[in-house]
Chain A
Amino acid sequence: MPFVPHTPEDLKAMLDVIGVTTLEDLFADIPESMRPKSFDLPEGMSEMEVCSHLEQLAAKSRTDLVSFLGAGFYNHHIPKAIDGLISRGEFYTAYTPYQPESSQGTLQAIFEFQTAVCRLLDMDASNASVYDGGSAIFEAMMMAVRATKRSRIVVSEAVSPIYRTMLASYTSNLNLEFITVPHDNGTTDIEKLKAAIDDRCAAVVVQNPNFFGNVSDFTELFEHAHAHKALGIISVYPVMQSVLKTPGEMGADIAVAEGQSLGQPLSFGGPYLGMMACTEKLIRQMPGRIVGRTEDLEGREGYVLTLQAREQHIRRAKATSNICSNQALCALRALIHMCLLGPEGLIRTAELSMERAHYLADRLTAIPGVELLNDAPFGNEVAVRLPISAFEAVDKLVERGYVAGVPLGRYYEDMDDVLLMACTEKNTFEQVGILAEMLGGIL
């Protein structure tokens, strides 16, 4: 019996101890009327059969496509050492560190993760992760709503539409008011955002680089928010954050990120990693697990889950969030990733990616009829306007093994001809050149 070790003798002996004769006797509490109407599941398979079935399904994917897809989810190199380390059973098969003395490994790793997040984002405190970048924005927003006791949120339309639709769903039964401030041809419209902030506003939410890849400085925006006692929330891209002005430098109150670019496989959408950090003042509003350093009876350094009075197992309906299980193993991946790359490695990754994206932009703008959406600074991702439908253009190149980018028509009005293209260090200059040639050829 797979994964059940009992021999017939064991079974008999155990039933005897319990004082029943059959396994079925143990389920006597479930009346006949409540028994399953059907339980028509396939027969079990051997390990070999399951693996080969799934290998066949996996083989339906094409893994040789050269991809320029991004939109917040990037195909960066993942150091091989990560898999070996996170697969160690003591990490992989442990759970939330409720018993700190037998969980110092997990606890210290979370403490180190919190530290790395704070150093990358330049913030005071972080948590052990939430589900993903989108739910991180939601949690940040709720922190702001509680801290300011206000209910209006100003969001830039240049924040990922993937996340904005999540926010809309999550808050549909809450008495919150969203004001979405339109982007200005792909750039974040700081002046309009400022104009939308007033004394009823809990927070302003922006993204850097924004969804179109543009980079901004939000220092003034956050100052303006603070003048109205509203909070500044910023969502960032961790790899680019190694070079870009930090949330801390801009005066953000809460910084969040999707941590996928730090060592997580794309894995068709998850598991990913919601990173959150905030200023000291807001720590008690933070959702989820937080690890703190302390001492044991003998004065030795050690780590524990702390500030637990915020959490659902103590505060129940009044908790700062309902989150219990988080993305701990993904956080561990991100931490190991940051250790293996170090500051220089992360910076070079950002630079190599930018270099390619800028080369791509140069090549594309040389094609008649192709232009950049705007001339604002960008990092490793850029939006271009094509003379034909972006959907059509992308479709045509797939059979030639290239996925040119994300067509933006389904996210924004008047953008059927706009293509969002991302590069990472894995896209070679040669591939960029080929893509430019091919695109030029079909336009």
Chain B
Amino acid sequence: MKTVFAQSVPGRTACLPPMPEERAEAFIPANLLRGKRPALPEMSELDVVRHFSRLSRLNYGVDSNFYPLGSCTMKYNPKFTENVAALPGFANLHPLLPQIKSAGLYTQGALEVMYESERLLCEVTGMHAFTLHPMAGAHGELTGAMLIAAYHKDKGNKKTKVICPDSAHGTNPASAALAGFEVVNIESKDGLIDPAALDAVLDDEVAALMMTCPNTLGLFEKHLPEIVEKLRKVDALLYYDGANLNAIMGKMRVGDVGFDVVHLNLHKTFATPHGGGGPGSGPVGVSERLEPYLPISRVDKLRDGRFFLNYDYPKSIGFMAPFYGNFGVVLKAYAYILRLGGEGLKRVSEYAVLNANYMRKLLEEHMHIPYNRICMHEFVASACDQQAACGVRALDIAKALLDKGYHAPTIYFPLIVKECMMYEPTETESKETMDAFVQDLIEILESAKTDPVALQDAPVTMPVRRLDETKAARSMILIDPA
């Protein structure tokens, strides 16, 4: 489809503001002005609306397609939360308003949302305190890693290393490195953290272990109590990547079992929309010993019930966000939690796990499932048998699924399973949807045996066929040439 730049017609306008009385030259000396006006598109409002409506139709989204993208928790995003976030009392609030004493009164509603959200997340996770500032999961990881660094520095510990299992999401090692740590990788065994491998790298320089539990294979880390014990012995902290919290709400609380830091992905567990890649929100919860280091500002409550922003935390790591994080996203998650309540959240986990196990069972005779036992909210299958038998790879199956109207499972990760396909159906999908999906998937697997070439050609019904990624990387056309 033509880009907006190719559609531009000089002189065409949509939302043109009135003509100013004087132009820029009247206010700014000529040498400080730009030479040419920016070559942005000139379109009518209908042009714009039609273009973006058409573009949207080239996409799959949860609203239109089953989207079992593992690790991403593509559940239904309740529509009412959008209205809530758009309420003028929230959407029009300038973030600097609380700095003006007499205007503080007019931000009480927003501060209450933040305060209450933190309390609720504490109860869900068993953590002592939360910050809502991190703007996505990875940003939460960075915050958490920095909290860990601040804690050790404050205690006078010389800790330079963070351990990440090979099954960890790529953001974990990247965040630890960005926080200034050396990253130590350990290999999994039987799909789980191997206590022996952990022993081999544990020493006094280890600041923390970052783990995901259930891990990215959808398995519960059975050695968890032992792992906690080992880390305590060397005075290292335990970090929980909460991207998978949707598996365990009401069943286990990370704070109760000894984790010191956790980040949550509100855009996953708490159903805020993924928006084509963001915005998310990655609040971080901490144990009591890490609380003094949390980012500022923090929302505190006065005795008379009023809320205020407290900057007086001398040990704080400082500012991770310009203000209070992605408030608009937090609002949606808050509304979602209130809607579901404790029982509803527990049900989220129960049915997420039910759906994943159901799908795993339906699929187990048709695809290799490397760790085929009761899983949590997701499971990983492998197309290695298909590859060996007929040269069909996970990628081909993924593309064939697109042709059947489904988004594909995650196939680029976890790296420890070859030809991996990570399925996460989520609790909002019905039995019928999963039955139909598995039926279609089985059909694809059958056709792999008879006509593998056709699969390697998939997709054929999408707006484009397979795209040449090598050409894209070599030719680097990253903008529409003027």
Contacts and interface: CB of A to CB of B under 8 A. Distances in A.
Whether A and B touch directly in their complex, counting CB atoms under 8 A apart, is answered as yes
B222 to A, nearest CB: 6
A355 interface: yes
A403 B250 contact: no
A212 to B, nearest CB: 15
Interface string A90-102: 1111111111111
A379 B27 contact: yes
B322 A294 contact: no
A344 B41 CA distance: 10
Interface stretch (A64-72, A226-234, A366-374): A64-72
Contact of B40 (A131, A318, A343): A343
B174 A59 contact: no
Contact of A342 (B41, B51, B58): B41
Contact of B138 (A133, A300, A312, A351): A312
Contacts of A73: 94-96, 322
A29 B476 contact: no
B279 to A, nearest CB: 4
A331 B354 CA distance: 36
Contacts of B149: 172-173
B252 A35 contact: yes
Nearest to A330: B279
Given A108-B55, A316-B170, A304 B430 contact: no
B469 A270 contact: no
Contact of A269 (B14, B177, B324, B357): B324
A268 B273 contact: no
Contacts of A58: 87-90, 109
Nearest to A54: B84
Given A34-B224, A340-B45, A41 B345 contact: yes
Contacts of B467: 100-101, 294-296, 302-304
A217 B32 contact: yes
Interface stretch (B72-80, B194-202, B447-455): B72-80
B362 to A, nearest CB: 7
Given A4-B348, A51-B80, A89 B267 contact: no
B88 A63 contact: yes
B289 interface: no
B81 to A, nearest CB: 9
A242 B36 CA distance: 9
Contacts of A294: 467-469, 471-472, 475, 477
Contacts of B279: 131, 270-271, 325-330
A4 B78 CA distance: 12
B59 A4 contact: no
Contacts of B248: 30
Given A44-B344, A270-B327, A391 B48 contact: no
Contacts of B471: 294-295
Given A89-B61, A120-B40, A173 B138 contact: no
A87 interface: yes
Contact of B110 (A38, A61, A92, A134): A61
Interface string B397-416: 01100100001101011000
Contact of A99 (B178, B319, B408): B408
B351 to A, nearest CB: 5
Looking at B41, B110, B279, B350, the one whose CB has the most chain A CB atoms below 10 A away is B279
Nearest to B83: A51
B275 interface: yes
A71 B323 CA distance: 12
Given A5-B430, A307-B476, A92 B93 contact: no
Contact of B123 (A38, A311, A329): A38
Nearest to A10: B431
Interface string B85-127: 1111111111111011111011111101100000010011010
B479 interface: yes
A287 B172 CA distance: 16
Contact of B339 (A2, A36, A292): A2
Nearest to A320: B174
Contacts of A314: 170
A173 B158 CA distance: 13
A29 B218 CA distance: 12
A91 B9 CA distance: 26
B128 to A, nearest CB: 13
B476 A270 contact: no
Nearest to B178: A322
A36 B252 contact: yes
Given A296-B467, A350-B24, A40 B123 contact: yes
Given A105-B56, A268-B90, A95 B74 contact: yes
A292 B358 contact: no
A396 B101 CA distance: 10
Given A294-B471, A306-B476, A243 B33 contact: yes
B88 A37 contact: no
B47 to A, nearest CB: 8
B70 to A, nearest CB: 11
A115 B430 contact: no
Contacts of B314: none
A111 interface: yes
Interface stretch (B139-147, B229-237, B386-394): B139-147
Interface string A118-159: 111010111011011111000000000000000000000000
Interface stretch (A13-21, A183-191, A197-205): A13-21
A206 interface: no
A222 to B, nearest CB: 15
Contact of A329 (B169, B275, B322, B323): B275
B305 interface: no
B57 A90 contact: yes
Given A99-B402, A129-B278, A328-B277, A270 B326 contact: yes
Interface in B1-40: 1, 3-5, 12-24, 27-29, 31-35, 37-40
Contacts of A93: 61-63, 67, 74, 77, 273-274
Looking at B220, B355, B464, the one whose CB has the most chain A CB atoms below 10 A away is B464
B3 A89 contact: no
Contact of A169 (B318, B323, B339): B318
B286 interface: no
A50 to B, nearest CB: 5
Contact of B321 (A59, A270, A347): A270
A244 B97 CA distance: 29
A387 interface: no
Nearest to A269: B323
What 9 pairs between A and B have smallest CB-CB spacing? A89-B63, A269-B323, A58-B89, A329-B275, A44-B341, A169-B318, A41-B342, A328-B277, A173-B180
Given A73-B96, A265-B86, A296-B466, 11 more contacts: A31-B225, A54-B84, A54-B331, A246-B34, A270-B279, A290-B478, A323-B138, A338-B40, A339-B41, A354-B24, A410-B99
